[in-house]
Amino acid sequence: MRISRLLTLSSVWHLLPVVLAGFPAANLSSVLSSPLLGLSPATEIFYPSDADWTNETQRWTLHDSPTYLAAVKPATERDAQKLVAFAAKSNISFLATGGAHGFTTSYGTLQNGIMLDLSNFRNVSVDAAANTMRIGAAVRFGDVYEPLYNAGKEITTGTSSCVGMLGATLGGGLGRYNGIHGMILDALISVRLIIATGEIITASTTENADLFWAVRGAGFNYGIVIEATYRITDLTSQYVINADFAFPMNASTALLTYLKSFETDMPEKLSLITYVTYVAAYGGLSFTFNAVYAGPKDELDQLLSPLLRDATPIRENITVIPWKDLTYTAFFAAEPSMAACTKGLYRNVYGGSVKAYDISSFNTFFTEMQDFYLEYPDAQSSVFFIEHFPKAKALSVPDNATAYPYRDITAHLLWNFGYPAGDLEKPVNAFGVKARADLQASSGFLPQQIYVNYAHGDEAPEILYSARNLPRLRNLKEVWDPENVFRFNEPVV
C-alpha cells in the first residue's frame, strides 16, 4: 500500500521545536499559533487561563478526566491533520473528542496534553436514493434523528441523544433497533481516518480491509475517524410504541423472570431496558421498565401481558410516537431530568454482561445495592441499567467479520454511580467491583465478557477485545500506530 506524504507538514518539522515530556505551556502556545504550523485563522485555541476554558473542555463526567495544556478546535480537516502530526512528532499526548461522553478511567492517564475538539465536524448528509448517510466526527445521535426520519430512513442509534455516534460505533454500537438492524458498526460502509502520521486514509471492505476490520470494534486505537458513511434503511414503521412502567422492589423476581423468558428468543422489533434507582418516596429501590416496539400496539400488549399479570406497576405510560422522538419520550421523558446529557458531573461507571439471568444472584445484588444506598445516601442518585436487545441479527454476522467480539451477549449491564468527589470513591469502587464480579460469575460467561464502550478501565484487554481477536488487533497496531499515539481509550497494548 502506498500512502502519499503531507509535504507541507513534513517540510516544517526541522523548524519546529522538538517537544518532549514536561513541555512548557508558553512554548506550546507559541508553536500552536506559529505560521510554521500553519493552522487556519478559523481554528480556535484555548488555554487554562481563558475564561471559557471549563466550558470548552468539560466532559460528561469529571471522574478520571484527562488534563490539558491547550484545547484546539480545528476548523478544517487539514488543521486536524497538522495537529495530529505535530503532536505525534513532538511526543505530546492528545485526545480527540466528539461527544465527550466517554467515561473509561483510561482517559485519566492523559495528563498535560492537547484536546482536539472536533465540534466543527458535525455534518450529517443523507442520500435517500443511495440508502447512505455520511456524518462528521462530532455528530451526536440526536443530530441524525430528524434528517433520517424526514427522508423516510432509519438506523440503529444509541439510547441517549447526546452520545457521539462515531464513538459508539467504533466500540460496537448498542441500541433499541439492534434486533432489526444489528449493531451500529454493522451498518458502517467506510471511514476516513487520520492516522498518527497525519495522513487521511480510507478504510472499507475493499480498501485497507484489515484496518476496517479493526476499526469495527477497536477503532479508537488506530486513528481519528473524521468522517464515516453508513448504510441506512427505509423506516420499519413511522411510529413506535413506547411503554414505560415503574415497579417497586418487590417486583424484582417477576421482572427478572420476564427478562429471562427472552434469553434465547426475542421478537426483533422489541427492546427492553430497565433502570434501577433509589426512590425514597417508594421506600427504596424502584425499577423503571421501558419496552419499545416497532409494530402494532396490540402485539406489544400481548408481549407485555406475562409481566403485567405478575407485577403491578406504580406508574405507567404507553404512547405512540414517531421514531425520531423515541429517545426523548422513553423512561417517562426522563433524559433531561436524569442529567443524561449534562456535562461536568461526577460519574463513576462500570459495565457487565449476562448470557443467562440468575434470578437469585440479581435479587441478592438488589438487596446489597439498597443497603449500600442507605449506608451512603450521597450515592442515591446512581442508576443501574439492564439493556436487553434481540441478538439474532447481530449473530447473523460472522464472528470474524469485525473486531467486535461479543455478539452473543443477552443483556448488557451498566452501573452509573453518581456522587460528590472525595470520600465515597473507595466504597463506590469496592461495591462496583464486587457487584460486577458477582453478577458475572453467574452470567454464563467464562471468561468474562464486557462491551468495550461500557468498560470501567480496570479490565484486561482480553476481557474487552477477546483473547481470539487481540493478537490480530496488536499486529495491526504495529502497522498503523507503532508508537502507540492513540492509547487513551481502552488500549489494545
| Residues 319 and 444 grouped into a single domain | yes
Residue that finishes a domain, picked among 184, 212, 235: 235
Q: CB neighbours (10 Å) of residue 264?
A: 11
The secondary element (H helix, E strand) that includes residue 358 is none
| Residues 248 and 351 grouped into a single domain | yes
| Residues 72 and 220 grouped into a single domain | no
Q: CB neighbours (10 Å) of residue 296?
A: 14
For residues 300, 304, 309, 311, the Cα torsion angle rounded to the nearest 10 degrees is: -140
Q: What is the rounded distance in angstroms from the CA atom of residue 64 to the CA atom of residue 364?
A: 30
Residue that finishes a domain, picked among 235, 250, 266: 235
Q: Extract the C-alpha cell encoding 211.
A: 484496518
Averages of pLDDT over each 10 residues, the chain, 493 residues:
37 40 63 93 97 95 96 98 96 95 97 98 99 98 98 97 97 98 99 98 99 99 99 98 98 99 98 97 94 98 98 98 96 74 92 98 98 98 98 98 98 97 95 98 94 98 98 99 98 98
Count of the separate structural domains present in the chain = 3
| Residues 230 and 246 grouped into a single domain | no
Q: What is the rounded distance in angstroms from the CA atom of residue 299 to the CA atom of residue 113?
A: 53
Q: What is the rounded distance in angstroms from the CA atom of residue 178 to the CA atom of residue 388?
A: 10
| pTM assigned to the model | 0.94
Backbone torsions φ then ψ of 483, nearest 5 degrees: -90, 0
- Is 326 domain-assigned? yes
Rounded alpha-carbon distances, angstroms, from residue 92 to 32, 148, 180, 401: 12, 39, 43, 34
Residue span of the structural domain in which 107 resides: 37-117
* 303 neighbors 179 (Cβ within 8 angstroms): no
Q: Extract the C-alpha cell encoding 360.
A: 437469585
CA 36 to chain centre: 36
Specify the 3-state DSSP secondary structure of 27: helix
| Residues 230 and 243 grouped into a single domain | no
For residue 296, what pLDDT is reported?
97
- Is 260 domain-assigned? yes
Q: What is the rounded distance in angstroms from the CA atom of residue 284 to the CA atom of residue 175?
A: 29
